Structure 1
Amino acid sequence: MTATDPRTDAAAEAVDVVVLGWKPTEVLRALTGYGARVVCVCEPSDASAAREAADVDTVVVAGTLTDAAEVLAALARTGIRLTADAIVCSADEFPLVTASLVGEALGCRAWPVPLALALRDKFVQKQLVRAAGIPVAEACVVDTLAELALAPLAPPFVIKPFDEAGVRRTSVVRSTEEAEELAQREGSEHSGPWLAESFVEGGELHLDGVVRQGGLLLLSVSRYLANVMDFRTGGLVGSTTLDPDEHAGLYSRAADVATRSLRALGHTDGVFHLEVFEQDQALVFGECAGRVGGGRVDTVVQLKFGVDLHDEWARAVLALPSAVATAEQDPRTFGWVHLPAVRGRATVVPTDDEVRQRPGVEVVEMKVKPGATVTDVLKDSNARSGRVVVSGPDAAEVTARLRGVSAWFRTALAVEPVES
C-alpha cells in the first residue's frame, strides 16, 4: 500500500480488501484473521475452491486477472460498492498492475501504478535499478523473435517473454544462428514482445524479507542448489538458507543491494523476493518481486527466522505493525528442494513416512501418487513429484541432505512410459 504510519494495535478495522488472485491462500487467512472482509476476484478455474473457503467473504469471477476492464466489469456485475477506505491488492505477481489500476479507478487504497509496474515489468525494473548504480544485466525489448538476431546485445544473452512463469519459455542464445533457430522453433512472429538481457555469470542467490517505511526489517539469504535455468539439464530446484552469523560478509553485501534496489523500485512497505548473482565480492541484480517467494521459501524463513511472510504481507496491506522484532531465530540451517519427477505414469511412489525418514527431513509435501501421469519436467521449473524441507547444523550439511534425499527419491520412484 502507499506509505502510512502503522497502527499501534494488532487488529485491523473492519475494512473491505479486494484481493486479485486465489493464491497464495495463506494471505487470505491472514487478512480475515485481522478482521478484514475479503473480496476474492478469481478466474473461473478457481471459483469453486474460493467459494468453499472460510477466509473469503465474497467471490467475484473475472475472465482474466491481467485485464483491468475485465476485473472492473466483474465487480460492477456483482454490485459490490467499495468506499475510499477499501483496499485493492494482489499477492500474485501477474495481477499487480491490474490491482493498482482498479484501485485507482474506484478511488480505493492501492499501490501506485508506477510501483506495481516496477515490480511487474522486468525491463522497467532493470532501468530503475541501473539508474541507481546497482550492477545489473544490460537489457532491451524485442518486439518479435524475427528481430532477435538484430538485438543490440552480444551473445550469450537470455530471452524471455514478459508473461514468464516457471522459466517455461526462457532460453539462452549463444550465437546469431541460435537466435534464428529459436525464432523458427517458436513460430509466430506476432508473439511478443520479448525481454532480452545479457547473460550474467555467477551462482544464483535469492534474498527474501520484509521492508517497512523503507527500512529493511528482515533479510534471509539463500543459495540455489543450481541456477534456476539449469533445471533443464538436471539441476535441482531448491535452495539452502544461509545463517547470518556463518555468512556475515555476504549478508552485509546482500542488505546493501536489497536496500538500494527496493528504494530504486519505490517498494517501501511489504515483503520481497529478490534474485542476485554472486561474482567474487559483487552481487549483480537479477529481478525483484513484491510477493512471497515460491517453492518453500515461506516455510524455510518461518523455521529459520520465526517470521511468517504471508502474515507480514497482510500486515503491510492493512498498515498494521510488523511482528519481525518479536521473532526468534533458530540456530539450525534449513533448505528445501523439489523432488524429481520422471515423465511417465508413476507405478511406485515413496510414502510420506518413507520420505520423512531421510536425514534432516522436517516437512514433506507429496504431489504425485501411484497411477498419476507426470508431464515433461524439462519444460517447467515448478514440475515436481513433491517437496521437502530439511534441517541441519550448517549450510554444507543441509545442501548435502537436500541432494541426498533427491537422489534417493529418484531411485525409489518407478514410472512406466506413456504415449506423447
Structure 2
Amino acid sequence: MTATTPTGPRQPERQPVVVLGWKPTEVLEALGRYGAEVVCVCEPADAAAAEKSGVADRVVMTASLADAGEVVAALVRERVPLTEDSIVCSADEFPLVTASVAGEALGCRSWPVSRALALRDKFVQKLLIRAAGIPVADAHQVDRLADLAGVPFEPPYVVKPFDEAGVRRTVLVATTEQAEEIAARGGAEDQGPWLVESFVPGGELHVDGAVRAGRLELVSVSRYLNNVMAFRDGGLVGSTLLDPEEHPGLYAAVSDVTARSLNALGHPDGVFHLELFEQDELLVFGECAGRVGGGRVDTVVGLKFGVDLHDEWARAVLGLPSAAGSGLRDRRTFGWLHLPAVAGRVTAMPGPDEIRSRPGVEVVEMKAEVGGVMADVRKDSNSRAGRVVVSGDGAAEVEQRLRDLADWFRAAVRVEQA
C-alpha cells in the first residue's frame, strides 16, 4: 500500500482496514490474524453470506462496489470511524479503482489511483507495458461493436468487454467477414465499450507470487492445460506448476519479464497473477492482476513452495515483512483442474471419495451434486462440477494425471435435460 504520513505518533490499538468485497475470505481471515479491525463492504447479494461467515468485524452494505460515491456514503452513514491511519483496499480485481478513489476521498491510506487503474484496466495496462518495451498485443477501444471496421489492425483479434469475468463474452474474431457479422449486431448486450486486442499465438503461462519494494520474493510459473479461450471448444481449465529446478531457463526469463512488468505498472508491493504467452524464445505479456490467482492457484503454490499467497496479500496491506522466503519447497509438483461436465440435471456422478482414489489427487472440492443442475461449462470458464488438486513427480506426470482424471470424470457423469 502507499500510505499518507501520520501526523501523530499514536497508532490505533487495532488497525482499521476497509476491504471492498468479501471474497476471497482467506484475506479477511489473514488480516484478522494480524490484529486488524476488518470492515467488509459488500453488495446486497453478498451481505448475508458475509455476515454469516464471521470473517469480518463489521459488514457494511453498499448498492454497488463499482461506485466510489456509494461506498463513501455507506461508510459515512454507518459511522465507521476512519482516520488517516485507516486502510481502504480490495483483494478483488473489480473494485480496485473504487477502493483507491474512496480511500483518497476519506483521507485514508490506499493505493494511488494510477496503480489501481493500471492493474484493473487492460487497455491502460497494455499502454504502460508497451511503453516499457515489453512485447504485448496491440490494443484498441471501440464504443460499439458496429465500430469494429475502425480497428487499426487486421483479424485475428479478441474482442471483450472491460468488465469481463470468466471469459463469458469474449469473442475470437478470426476473419474480416466474421468481424462484419459481429458489427451488424444491434442488441443491447452488444453495447460497449469493448477492448480489442490482436490475437497472440503460443502456449499460455500464468505467473504467481509476491513482490516487495520492487523485489520478487516469490515466482511460481505454471502452464495452462489449454489456453483459457479453448474452454469453449471443450478445452480443460486448469494448469500444471513447473518446478524451478526442472525449468531454470524459463524461470530466469519469466522473472525478468515479471519484474519489468510490475515496475511498469507501478506495483512494487503485494501479490500478483500475471499471464504470458510462449513464442519460441520470446515471452509476450498477456495481462496482470494485483491479486491472488483464481482456480486453485493458491493451493498449488502453498503445497509446492510453502507460501500462503492470501497471507502475503495481507502482509503487504499492513506493511509487514514478507514470509515468502521461509517456506519449505516440496520435491513434487502440483496442478489443478476444473472438473468438466455437460449442462443438465445430474443423475449420476463420482463422489469425492471416489475422486480421491484416483492417482495423485490431493484436494477435492465439489460444486455439483446428483439431482442438481450443471451450467454449460462452455459459456463461462468458472463453470465446473468441482475442482481438484493433483500431485506428481514432475510436470509431465501431473499434466497426464489431470487429463486422465478429466476424461474419466467426464465419461462417468450422467445428465438429463433440465
Separation in structure 2 between the aligned mates of residue 55 and residue 194 of structure 1, nearest angstrom: 36
Is the contact made by 2:4 and 2:84 (CA closer than 8 Å) also made in structure 1?
no
Q: Is the partner of 1:378 in helix, strand or coil?
A: coil
Is the contact made by 1:119 and 1:290 (CA closer than 8 Å) also made in structure 2?
yes
- After superposition, the Cα gap between the structure-2 partners of 1:177 and 1:189, relative to the gap in structure 1 and judged at 3 Å, is farther
Separation in structure 2 between the aligned mates of residue 15 and residue 388 of structure 1, nearest angstrom: 36
Separation in structure 2 between the aligned mates of residue 185 and residue 29 of structure 1, nearest angstrom: 46
Mean alpha-carbon deviation: is it higher for 321-330 or for 383-392?
321-330
Is the contact made by 2:4 and 2:108 (CA closer than 8 Å) also made in structure 1?
no
Pairs within 5 Å for 1:11-50: 14-50=14-50
Any stretches of 5+ residues in structure 1 without a counterpart? Answer: 6-11
Pairs within 5 Å for 1:175-186: 175-185=175-185
Is the contact made by 2:145 and 2:185 (CA closer than 8 Å) also made in structure 1?
no
Pairs within 5 Å for 1:147-296: 147-185=147-185, 187-188=187-188, 191-296=191-296
Separation in structure 1 between the aligned mates of residue 376 and residue 239 of structure 2, nearest angstrom: 22
Amino-acid identity (%): 69
Is the contact made by 1:3 and 1:268 (CA closer than 8 Å) also made in structure 2?
no
Match of 1:8 in 2: none
Q: Is the partner of 1:405 in helix, strand or coil?
A: helix
In the TM superposition, what is the alpha-carbon distance from 1:149 to its structure 2 partner? 2.1
Separation in structure 2 between the aligned mates of residue 224 and residue 391 of structure 1, nearest angstrom: 15
Match of 2:8 in 1: none
Separation in structure 1 between the aligned mates of residue 413 and residue 4 of structure 2, nearest angstrom: 52
- After superposition, the Cα gap between the structure-2 partners of 1:404 and 1:112, relative to the gap in structure 1 and judged at 3 Å, is same
The alignment status of 1:392 with 2:392, answered yes or no, reads: yes
Is the contact made by 2:3 and 2:109 (CA closer than 8 Å) also made in structure 1?
no
Match of 1:403 in 2: 403
What root-mean-square deviation, in Å, do the aligned CA atoms of Structure 1 and Structure 2 show? 1.4
In the TM superposition, what is the alpha-carbon distance from 1:49 to its structure 2 partner? 1.3
Per-residue deviation, residues 172-228 of structure 1 (Å, max 9, x unmatched): 112222112223457238721110010001000000000001100000000000000
Separation in structure 1 between the aligned mates of residue 285 and residue 4 of structure 2, nearest angstrom: 28
**TM-score, scaled to structure 2:** 0.96
Separation in structure 2 between the aligned mates of residue 186 and residue 294 of structure 1, nearest angstrom: 33
The alignment status of 1:73 with 2:70, answered yes or no, reads: no
Separation in structure 2 between the aligned mates of residue 13 and residue 389 of structure 1, nearest angstrom: 40
Structure 1 moving runs of 4+ over 4 Å: none
Separation in structure 1 between the aligned mates of residue 23 and residue 79 of structure 2, nearest angstrom: 24
Separation in structure 1 between the aligned mates of residue 275 and residue 191 of structure 2, nearest angstrom: 27
Is the contact made by 1:146 and 1:189 (CA closer than 8 Å) also made in structure 2?
no
Separation in structure 1 between the aligned mates of residue 108 and residue 160 of structure 2, nearest angstrom: 34
In the TM superposition, what is the alpha-carbon distance from 1:74 to its structure 2 partner? 1.1
Q: Is the partner of 1:377 in helix, strand or coil?
A: coil
Is the contact made by 2:18 and 2:87 (CA closer than 8 Å) also made in structure 1?
yes
Separation in structure 1 between the aligned mates of residue 302 and residue 354 of structure 2, nearest angstrom: 24
| AA partner of residue 222 (structure 2) | S
**TM-score, scaled to structure 1:** 0.96
In the TM superposition, what is the alpha-carbon distance from 1:55 to its structure 2 partner? 2.2
Is the contact made by 2:154 and 2:176 (CA closer than 8 Å) also made in structure 1?
no
Match of 2:332 in 1: 332
Is the contact made by 1:60 and 1:78 (CA closer than 8 Å) also made in structure 2?
yes
Mean alpha-carbon deviation: is it higher for 380-389 or for 49-58?
49-58
Pairs within 5 Å for 1:340-379: 340-379=340-379
Separation in structure 2 between the aligned mates of residue 129 and residue 329 of structure 1, nearest angstrom: 32
Per-residue deviation, residues 319-338 of structure 1 (Å, max 9, x unmatched): 00111121110010100000
- After superposition, the Cα gap between the structure-2 partners of 1:337 and 1:190, relative to the gap in structure 1 and judged at 3 Å, is closer
Is the contact made by 1:231 and 1:237 (CA closer than 8 Å) also made in structure 2?
yes
